[in-house]
A and B are shown apart, each in its own frame.
Chain A
Amino acid sequence: MKLRARQLACTLLVSLALSACASSPQTRLLLDHPPDLPPVTELSAVPFFPQQEYHCGPAALAAIVNYRGIAVEADDIARLVYVPELKGSLQVEIVAATRQFDLLPVQLDGQLESLLRELAAGNPVFVLQNLAIEAYPVWHYEILIGYDLEQGHMILRSGVDRRITRTFALFEKTWQRADHWALVVVGTDSIPATVSVDAYLAAVIGMEQVGRLASAREAYATAVQRWPDSSLANSGLGNSSYALGDYGTAESAYRAALAIDPEKAALWNNLAYALARLGRREESLDAIGHALELDPDNAGLQDSRRELSN
């Protein structure tokens, strides 16, 4: 057994030697061209929940949720994410559990520099790591709480360790083996420092889809403030307002979206429904008529017209 293991190690070391040059490409870039950020950042206020065996997911999420001002224990989170047989927690469930606290789980873009920018902006980053190799993955959730550009390392809360450091180069390798998975968790009134409108809205749409409508609406309003030219942000504000029975706000949000994207038949459809709810039947029929002018063969729109004409 020992021999076989050694042989395996040798094989791996050969392939390691071959790929060594390209193994931490982002780290090299980062150190060659340091970003315009404070040289050192550490978010010491991020609480620490030492993990019980295999419970790195619940422990890390508990720390993040508490950091956002919601008191919760790791055991409560384990009920939302932990799968005993897997001895771990799925990424999808981490994301889903975050929404249960009316917090937005926003995916980052996989850039090392984005992690630093989020930290500098005061946002701890939830990361997945594969601490071992692809053939023998050792998955581990951790929280990035800081970095040191001079020392060239990340600062993390990890497992049973309140504070560890890991060099950028090593961090990049273990992170890359987990497909650069990184989440920033924020309240519905704020937007992480580095995310695109699409990434932010994807998180808000998730909130809306699972029926946390008031939170979704708040987040859409936050998005509209930041990205007033986003048709989708305005549409989401319209849809969530409609679902909450606030048809007046829905109408104005749909009109804002249509000012950006006047050819989108589906938006005229939704506007027609909002107007119908407001008792403005004629305007409603005009709107659905307009939708059908744009997309005459659409069966859904034809059905909408029938329903709104009744």
Chain B
Amino acid sequence: MRITQLIRGIPLAIAALTFAMPAQAGMVSTAQLQESLVVQESSDMNGRRAWIEDQLLQGGVSGADATARVAAMTDAEIAQIYQRIDEAPAGGSSFLLIALVVFAVLEITGYIDVIPNK
């Protein structure tokens, strides 16, 4: 978990280091003004969005919903889950039977809280 988080932080850190105003005329966005949020200019955001949309489709999300959901994410959010959807926590409260015995012991010792309706 911690390693994953470390890896997650790297692209943003690189982006912050390589920040420069866009080499084109026009307004500077608020995200660019707050340099820490800037995703590297050179990164292929459209490709990343397409990849995530594809993952959502494969994950059973309907076509129109997947498109809208990707559009609702910021570039920083895209960068956060790009190629990491499988590792990212997906809150859903599922159970693995094989772990139940372990869980029971840990539960009794007050280390975890997976067994419902106590």
- Write the residues of chain A forming the contact surface with B, with a CB cutoff of 8 angstroms: 1-2, 5-6, 8-9, 12-13, 16, 23, 51, 54-57, 79-97, 99-100, 128-134, 136-141, 159-161, 166-167, 169-170, 173-174, 177-179, 198, 201-202, 205-206, 208-210, 232, 235-236, 239-240, 242, 264-267, 269-270, 273, 295, 298-301, 303-304, 306-307
Q: CB-CB < 8 A to B59: which residues of A? A: 83-86
- Write the residues of chain B forming the contact surface with A, with a CB cutoff of 8 angstroms: 1, 5, 20-34, 37, 56, 58-61, 65, 68-69, 71-77, 80-81, 85, 88-96, 98-99, 101-103, 105-106, 109-114, 116-117
A227 to chain B, nearest CB (A): 14
How far, in whole Å, are A279 and B11 apart by their CA atoms in the complex? 41
Q: CB-CB < 8 A to B99: which residues of A? A: 5, 132, 136
14 contacts between A and B (CB under 8 A): A12-B105, A13-B109, A54-B93, A55-B92, A83-B59, A89-B91, A133-B111, A134-B1, A137-B89, A167-B110, A173-B111, A208-B30, A240-B30, A298-B21
- CB–CB A88/B90 < 8 A: yes
Q: CB-CB < 8 A to A79: which residues of B? A: 65
B39 to chain A, nearest CB (A): 10
- CB–CB B72/A99 < 8 A: yes
Q: CB-CB < 8 A to A266: which residues of B? A: 21, 28, 32-33
Which residue of the partner chain B has the closest CB to A308? B25
- CB–CB A270/B28 < 8 A: yes
Which residue of the partner chain B has the closest CB to A87? B92
- CB–CB B73/A210 < 8 A: yes
Given contacts A6-B101, A13-B109, A83-B60, contact A160 B116 (CB under 8 A): yes
B118 to chain A, nearest CB (A): 8
Q: CB-CB < 8 A to B27: which residues of A? A: 239, 242, 269-270, 273
- CB–CB A232/B61 < 8 A: no
Given contacts A201-B34, A235-B33, A270-B28, contact A91 B61 (CB under 8 A): no
Q: CB-CB < 8 A to B114: which residues of A? A: 131-132, 138
Q: CB-CB < 8 A to B28: which residues of A? A: 266-267, 269-270, 300
B105 to chain A, nearest CB (A): 5
- CB–CB A173/B112 < 8 A: yes
B57 to chain A, nearest CB (A): 10
Q: Which of B56, B77, B102, B105 contacts A95 (CB 8 A)?
A: B77
- CB–CB B112/A132 < 8 A: yes
A249 to chain B, nearest CB (A): 15
A264 to chain B, nearest CB (A): 8
B63 to chain A, nearest CB (A): 12
Given contacts A132-B103, A139-B91, A299-B23, contact A85 B30 (CB under 8 A): no
- CB–CB B30/A232 < 8 A: yes
Which of A131, A232, A265 lies at the interface centre, i.e. has the most chain B CB atoms within 10 A of its CB?
A: A131
- CB–CB B75/A209 < 8 A: yes
Q: Which of A9, A170, A235, A299 contacts B105 (CB 8 A)?
A: A9
Which residue of the partner chain B has the closest CB to A268? B28
How far, in whole Å, are A179 and B27 apart by their CA atoms in the complex? 36
B65 to chain A, nearest CB (A): 5
A12 to chain B, nearest CB (A): 7
How far, in whole Å, are A100 and B93 apart by their CA atoms in the complex? 25
- CB–CB B94/A5 < 8 A: no
- CB–CB A300/B30 < 8 A: no
How far, in whole Å, are A79 and B56 apart by their CA atoms in the complex? 11
